[in-house]
Amino acid sequence: MITFLLSMVLTCFCQIGTTNVAQPIKEDITEIVFDSTRNYWGRVNISSYTGQLLFVLPQAKGLEKWGYSNFKPIDYNHSSYENVHYGRNSEASEYNTKYEDLANKYFHVDSVVRYKNKLLSLEDDNIFYLTEKDNPANRCCFVYDSEYKHNFPFMVVSHFNYLKNKFIGKKFIIAGHLLKMHDIITGNHIVISNETKVFWTVMDITIVNDDNRKLSVIVTNRDMTSCVSIDNFEDALNLDGRRQIFEKNEWDKLVLTYGLPMMQTVMSRKIKVGMPSKLLIMSWGKPDRIHSASYGDQYVYGNQYVYVKKGKITSWN
């Protein structure tokens, strides 16, 4: 009897079944890719700088003595804002890194780390961990400022390549006040007017080695060569606001639609009765606000008011 029961137990234990289990669905891992259409992203896309190559832009000649701010040693204590800075040269100023230690160098962004600044009760700070491209043993940190573009001393190389691919070889109408008043090759004075039948061809994008040392768009027109800082160039080409630069094909279409005199008014940053609201924004930029009423729309620019009805300017005060 005992032998029978034992054989039954073993039989039961040996009958181990199998159950089909569905294979786990692989989740798509979203890779953070840097959007090269912009160089500085402010509060958004900060982590996407990871893996990017950064070029430290030179400063204006008069600012060299102040060096660069926000660079810290690789072992920087994130819990406080002590007056420490990155710099191999003991002559660097108390708060900044000496100019020669950083200017014109390339750095890889190894990682971007976010931490809470409890000391000053500010928003989260973002630290870039950097490795010098030509000297991997040289590493440092950079405290990223999400508020002010002028505190970002880099040109992201992928953005630079984007600009070159976008602009070089193309023709543009450029408002005269944006251009240098002398030929940057010969030094001869250039008489620049708002003549809007003249197109400038983009030759290159480079740092102009003058007192300002700005990354600039180099343009040529017949026998004249001039430049526009890349910041001014992109701002003046703003497709959603005030315009002072137009690509040739776009300009030709606008002239065909609205007439050359109307487009010359836009380039002169002026307005006139009958101007479409689209051109008003190209000339003066987006209004602070728009009030709608029975007589039409009131576009508010500071203490100036432009009145628009059925899409065209009727008056202003």
pLDDT per residue as tens digits for the range 58-67: 999 988 888 8
Structure tokens at 214: 């700005």
pLDDT of residue 28: 45
CA distances, 52 to each of 122, 156, 216 (Å): 27, 7, 22
Q: How far apart are the first and last CA of the chain?
A: 112
- Whether 72 contacts 84, CB under 8 Å: yes
Instruction: Please give the average per-residue pLDDT across 43-52, as a whole number.
Output: 94
The distance from CA 256 to its chain's CA centroid, rounded to whole angstroms, is 32
User: Is there a contact between 223 and 193 (Cβ–Cβ < 8 Å)?
Assistant: no
Return the percentage of the chain with pLDDT > 90, whole number.
56
The pLDDT assigned to 239 comes to 81
- pLDDT at 186 exceeding the cut of 60: yes
- The first and second tokens of residue 184, run together, are 């940057």
One-letter amino acid for residue 2 of the chain: I
Token pair of 26 as six digits: 């692989």
Interval 206-218 mean pLDDT: 91
- pLDDT for 134: 95
Look at residue 59 in the predicted model and tell me its pLDDT: 92
What is the phi/psi pair of residue 14, to 5°? Answer: -80, -15
pLDDT grade for 209, boundaries at 50, 70 and 90: confident
pLDDT given at position 294: 80
Give the pair of three-digit tokens for residue 121. 């009760």
Which is more confidently placed, 12 or 183? 183
pTM of the model: 0.78
Q: For residue 81, with 0-12 CB atoms within 10 Å meaning exposed, 13-18 middle and 19 or more buried, which class applies?
A: middle
pLDDT value of position 89: 55
Cα separation, 229 vs 108, in Å, equals 25
> Over 90: is that where the pLDDT of 26 sits?
no
Q: What mean pLDDT comes out for the span 221-238?
A: 89
Q: Cα separation of 42 and 19, whole Å?
A: 53
How high does pLDDT run on average in the chain?
84
| Predicted local confidence at residue 2, as pLDDT | 47
What is the spatial distance between Cα 118 and Cα 80, in angstroms, rounded to a whole number? Answer: 8
pLDDT range class, residue 79, cuts 50, 70, 90:
low
Asked whether the predicted pLDDT for residue 107 surpasses 50, the reply is yes
Give which of 92, 255, 101 is closest to 173, Cα–Cα.
Answer: 255
